[in-house]
């Protein structure tokens, strides 16, 4: 039995524990829901902590294979981040297979712009933004942060983004996610136009790529591909290899927010990297 098969099996058997812990999270913070489009999936949730400890704001885009998930489903992430004293925005987007790429990217960019406008409207300093996302969310946000053509097309100002964190991202399409990609892209679409490693250009945003060598869905090499491209163009990049026992795809990408910094080294790396920006 090869290690890839074992890692995939561990991924699928991890869901019960993940959901059991997820639905036990106490909802101490009530987010504000803000629509940025007519579709029900085009909204973001804004979380305000009781005591703000920093002027850095985290804008997060959920994963779910581009075909599942929502900000409301991942409320526990907002609860965790807010408890650390950060303002937090969770952006939703239209899902595949009903909506084909680049609808998801368009929504993330529109949602980001709407979130920044919301912060400014409410007198909140939006000059220090950390953009983050797991899995499909890492794919979409990495393109938004590092592709100039996308920024120009959707009028995204990245000057206020001081860091990018991607966890478990398919930055190159070497992983065996053919079914998900078939659902995401129209037949005949040139997938290089949706592949982060092919779209990256040089800019000022440093990146942290959190990736597991025991991810049963996304190869560790996807992070290496993105890091190598960053090196080629001169972008600052750090790759962090997950060492936590719960190192399956779902657990280290989003499940880490169900644990404490003391329990989860990946989560501690997430926050410590932001603290040092």
Q: How many domains, the chain? A: 1
The SS3 of residue 87 is strand
In the predicted model, is pLDDT for residue 7 greater than 90?
A: no
- Lowest-confidence pick of 102-116, 170-184, 249-263: 170-184
Q: What digits encode the pLDDT tens for the residues 215-269?
A: 999 999 999 999 999 999 999 999 999 999 999 999 999 999 999 999 999 999 9
Confirm if 189 and 101 have CB atoms less than 8 A apart: yes
**Residue 193 CA to its chain's centroid (Å):** 19
What is the C-alpha separation between 39 and 35, in angstroms, rounded? 9
Domain range holding 150?
A: 3-275
Question: CATH code at 128?
Answer: 3.40.50.1820
Average pLDDT value for residue range 129-140: 98
Q: Tell me, what's the pLDDT at 56?
A: 98
Q: Tell me, what's the pLDDT at 176?
A: 79
What is the C-alpha separation between 30 and 50, in angstroms, rounded? 11
């Amino acid at each position: 039995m090869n290690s890839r098969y074992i890692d995939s099996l561990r991924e699928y058997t991890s869901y019960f524990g993940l959901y059991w812990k997820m639905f036990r999270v106490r909802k101490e913070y009530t987010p504000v829901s803000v629509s940025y489009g007519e579709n029900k999936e085009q909204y973001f949730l804004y979380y305000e902590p009781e005591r703000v400890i920093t002027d850095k704001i985290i804008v997060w885009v959920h994963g779910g294979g581009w075909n599942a998930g929502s900000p409301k489903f991942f409320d526990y992430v907002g609860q965790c981040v807010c408890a650390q004293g950060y303002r937090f925005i969770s952006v939703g987007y239209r899902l595949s297979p009903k909506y084909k790429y680049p609808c998801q990217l368009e929504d993330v960019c529109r949602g980001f712009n709407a979130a920044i406008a919301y912060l400014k409207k409410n007198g909140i300093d939006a000059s220090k933004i950390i953009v983050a996302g797991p899995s499909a969310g890492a794919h979409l946000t990495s393109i938004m942060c590092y592709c100039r053509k996308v920024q120009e097309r959707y009028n995204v100002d990245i000057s206020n983004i001081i860091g990018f964190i991607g966890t478990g991202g398919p930055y190159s399409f070497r992983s065996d996610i053919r079914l998900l990609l078939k659902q995401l892209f129209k037949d005949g679409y040139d997938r290089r136009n949706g592949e982060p490693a092919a779209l990256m250009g040089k800019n000022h945003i440093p990146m942290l790529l959190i990736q597991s060598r025991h991810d049963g869905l996304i190869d560790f090499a996807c992070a290496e591909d993105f890091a190598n491209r960053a090196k080629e163009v001169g972008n600052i990049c750090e790759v962090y290899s997950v060492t936590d026992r719960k190192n399956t795809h779902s657990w280290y990408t989003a499940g880490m927010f169900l644990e404490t910094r003391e329990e989860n080294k990946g989560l501690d790396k997430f926050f410590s990297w932001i603290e040092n920006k």
